[in-house]
Each structure stands twice: as structure tokens, then as C-alpha cells.
Amino acid sequence: MTMKRTVGSVAAGTGGAAVIAATVAFLPAWEGMDRVAKRDMIGTGHPITYCFGQTDEFGKVKAGTRFSKQECDEKLAQSLPTYLERLDKCVKRPVPVKAMSAVLDASYNAGTAAVCRSPMVAKFNAGDIRGGCNAFAGWYVRSDGKVRKGLIARRSGIGDGRKSERDLCLEGLSEPKGSWYAGLDVAPPKPAKKWWQK
């Protein structure tokens, strides 16, 4: 399946739009919404954060800047397709929409580079979707050098009543394969050559 995507466009093809919609429904329960920008005192580097956990990498947003709910919704809608496009470079097999949504949420929270090196993506690429979902437990639960109960709960649901990334991912196992997210020009990896084929 081939999908055309423009960075920043929510219309990322049928599968991409479904992944983004699932993430938009899931992410705010964990990020919350700060309509006034402030310094994140537990995030790496203590960046300025606002809206749904957005961070300003260019230094344009100052602490105290105010946002409307509509502006926050728009900023999230603009950000997620960019994260999804970055994930397309490392997720090499089709995966359930909700599984991709779970790694998209993790990417938004922990960074795409960390997710691409994660056991979740390694297992997805090996064809082990359930194993990839279960790998959320215990992954990336520290910030600013400390284990955070909120991150443990976000990844695996331990100690919290909210749906976790692991829960969301496992829900995807019941999705019919024809509806799975296949990314941008993603082809299944070629099988490794046997020693006698070299």
C-alpha cells in the first residue's frame, strides 16, 4: 500500500489519519492541557512546555504565553503527522492502527529516536506485534534521571486506572489485517539470505 503524505497534513492517507485520530483521542489524558506556557521542571533540559505537552525547540514560545483550546488542538494536529512520518523510517512492517498509535504517543512523549531504538519497534519489525506491545512495560520510565510513576503508568498501566500505551497497542491485535497501518511505501523486509545463497 502506498500513501502520499505532506508533513504537517492530517490527511496522511486512510491509515495515517486513523493512527492520528486514535492518538488524538488517547494522548490528552496523559499530557493534560496547559494553556499557559511554563518551564517543564521534570523534562530533559527543562524546556518551555504548553498545550498538550508541546515543547518549543526554537525558543519562540516564552513562559507565560497564553493559548486557546483551539490553538492547542491545532498545534497537536500539526505535530502528530511529523512524528508519524519520522516513525515510518523505522517501522518496517504493517502494524495495527492502535499499535502504531501507541508508538506515536511514545514518540511524542520520549522522542522518535528513542522509539526507533526501542524493543517495541524491534519486535514489530520481527513480526511479533504482541511482544512489541508488551515491551512498553518498563521502557523509558525515567525523566531528569528519576523513575516517574506517571511514566510507568503511561507505558504499562501499573498503578493507574487510565488506558496505557501497552493497553492501546494490545487493542490493535483485534483489528482486521486489511485495516493495519502500512506507512509510506513500506515493504516487508526481505528475508535474510542463507549461508549457501551468498
Per-residue pLDDT tens for 34-63?
Answer: 999 999 877 666 789 999 999 876 678 999
Q: Mean pLDDT across the chain, nearest whole number?
A: 85
Within 10 Å of residue 112's Cβ, how many Cβ atoms? 20
pLDDT band at 3 (very low <50, low <70, confident <90, very high): very low
The CATH number that applies at residue 112 is 1.10.530.40
- Residue 131 Cα to chain centre, angstroms: 17
- The string of pLDDT tens digits covering residues 131-142 is 999 999 999 898
The answer to whether the CB of 155 falls within 8 A of the CB of 164 is: yes
Res 158: pLDDT: 85
Dist. CA 51–CA 160, nearest whole Å: 23
Classify strands 142-143 and 54-55 as parallel, antiparallel or unpaired: unpaired
Q: In terms of residue numbers, what domain contains 165?
A: 13-35+71-187
Whether residue 30 lies inside any domain: the answer is: yes
Bridge partners of residue 170, in order along the sequence? none
Q: Quickly tell me which residue has 488524538 as its cell.
A: 24
For residue 99, give the amino acid letter: A
Q: Reply yes or no on whether the pLDDT at 119 is more than 70.
A: yes
Residue at 77 is within a domain = yes
- Assess whether pLDDT exceeds 60 at residue 24: yes
Q: Which of 127, 125, 123, 147 is nearest to 135 (CA)?
A: 123
What total of structural domains would you count in the chain? 1
21 vs 158 pLDDT, higher one = 21
State mean pLDDT over 103-119.
Answer: 96
* Mean pLDDT on 171-194: 72
Pick from 13, 191, 171: nearest CA to 98: 171
- Asked whether residue 128 is domain-assigned, the answer is yes
Residue 54 counted as domain residue: no
| Cα–Cα dist 181/110, whole Å | 21
Task: Report the pLDDT averaged over residues 102-116.
Answer: 96
Cell numbers found for residue 48: 518551555
d(CA 5, CA 77): 14
Is 4 part of any domain? Answer: no
Q: Does 148 fall in a domain? A: yes
Q: Is the pLDDT of residue 6 over 80?
A: no
| Domain-located, residue 59 | no
**What's at 189, amino acid-wise?**
P
Grid cell for residue 159: 498503578
Task: Please report whether residue 168 resides in a domain.
Answer: yes
- List % helix, strand, coil for the chain (3-state, nearest 5): 45, 10, 45
Q: How many CB atoms lie within 10 A of CB 193?
A: 8
